[in-house]
Amino acid sequence: MTTDDITPGTWDDFVTRHPRAHLLQTHAWGQLKAAFGWKPLPVAIRDGEGRITAGVQLLLRRLPLRLGWLAYAPYGPLVDWSDPAQVTRLQAAIDRAARGAGAAFLKIEPGFGLDGVDFARFGYRPSPQTVQPPRTIVLDITGSEDDVLARMNQGTRRNIRKSAKHEVAIRHGTRADVDRFNALLAETGSRAEFGVHAPEYYERAYDLFAPQGRAALILGSYGGQDLAGVMVFALGAQAWYFYGASSDRERQRMASYGVQWAGIQWARAQGAGTYDMYGVPDADPETLEAHFTEQSDGLWGVYRFKRGWGGDVVRSAGAWDRAYNRLVYAAYRLAASRLERE
């Protein structure tokens, strides 16, 4: 069963109920990516009563030089990996859909909590390239606000208090505020020398998720100037901090801490019990702690900020590939290895 048989509501009902539910598998995420060069393709299998039991939303993107398509599954498939029969049945449906769409190969990033799963058993091989950050920090935001604060380090709690003491005004932004968030993102990207999406990307993300209560844009300002902002998302018991930005102005007011704390409070109000800080360097916790004071490139700069919020460093299963066109896939692996060496 593919996209022609699945309505957006049916798909999102399945994703939300699944034990491995993730925002990047929702219909809205597919629509977001569709606006920027990807084609979403949901694939599912059903039980005898017609209910979806396992599935995946593939994202298809054309490869260069007319070499076909890449099929990509972020935080999927949503399947019981301990049930080989279910995995095999879904994999057959995925193969039919991916091949039918002209995919040269399939890349999956199945997510967290899958230690011990033998993906090679199902025809996958470790990928030389990930799309999502394989390692992150996940906060436990259950209990009272005092409980959540107690899990943070002293410096983070102090900076949250400083943000309030220094009169940073926190507000939940409207659609009109996305332009202001984009201005902060441009400033952050220029200062930190990392890429940000086009302004239209964040506008589209807000339009798709905020009206449904699955996202919030939170801004912190002082004296009429925006100093920091976050865009956070929630689905079921999980929340994610995907996008953040800050200004160099008035940094002593700790606005970044004020908006992040407001993001956590919003996530708790949505019923989330975890808050994913989304992306730290791919190193074990001991290495992270040993070197974060001396490194600032890549995700090391944000690790210094994220570590103080009191979460656990966790690693996903990484990326795994399944080739349909072996020549094209071999060329991809060669190109990826060259990029890694540069």
Q: What number is the average pLDDT over the span 188-209?
A: 87
Q: Render pLDDT for 57-113 as a digit per residue (tens, 0 to 9).
A: 999 999 998 899 999 999 999 999 999 999 999 999 999 999 999 999 999 999 999
- The confidence score (pLDDT) of residue 123 equals 97
Q: Does 3.40.190.10 match the CATH number of domain 3-130+318-341?
A: no
H-type alpha helices, 107-167: 145-150, 154-165
- CA–CA–CA angle 76, 111, 274 (5° rounding): 115
Q: Is the pLDDT of residue 3 over 70?
A: no
Task: Indicate the length of the chain as a whole number.
Answer: 342
DSSP readout, 33-100? HHTTT-EEEEEEEE-TTS-EEEEEEEEEEEPGGG--EEEEEET--BS-TT-HHHHHHHHHHHHHHHHH
C-alpha to C-alpha distance for 15 and 164, rounded to whole angstroms? 38
Q: Is the pLDDT of residue 192 over 70?
A: no
C-alpha to C-alpha distance for 200 and 41, rounded to whole angstroms? 23
CATH class of the domain whose range is 135-315: alpha beta
- As annotated, the residues of the chain forming the CATH 3.40.630.30 domain(s) are 3-130+318-341, 135-315
Q: What number is the average pLDDT over the span 213-227?
A: 97
Question: Which has more confidence, 320 or 294?
Answer: 320
Which residue reads 């994703």 in tokens? 15
Q: What number is the average pLDDT over the span 29-49?
A: 97
Using a 10 angstrom Cβ sphere, with 0-12 exposed, 13-18 middle and 19 or more buried, the burial of residue 155 is: exposed
Question: 169 phi and psi, to 5 degrees?
Answer: -85, 120
Instruction: Name residue 216's amino acid.
Output: A
Q: How far is CA 155 from CA 86, 135, 138, 193, 298, in A?
A: 47, 23, 18, 26, 23
Listed range (32-41, 114-123, 211-220, 283-292) with the worst mean pLDDT: 283-292
Closest CA to 233 of 224, 241, 245, 244: 241
Q: What number is the average pLDDT over the span 30-42?
A: 98
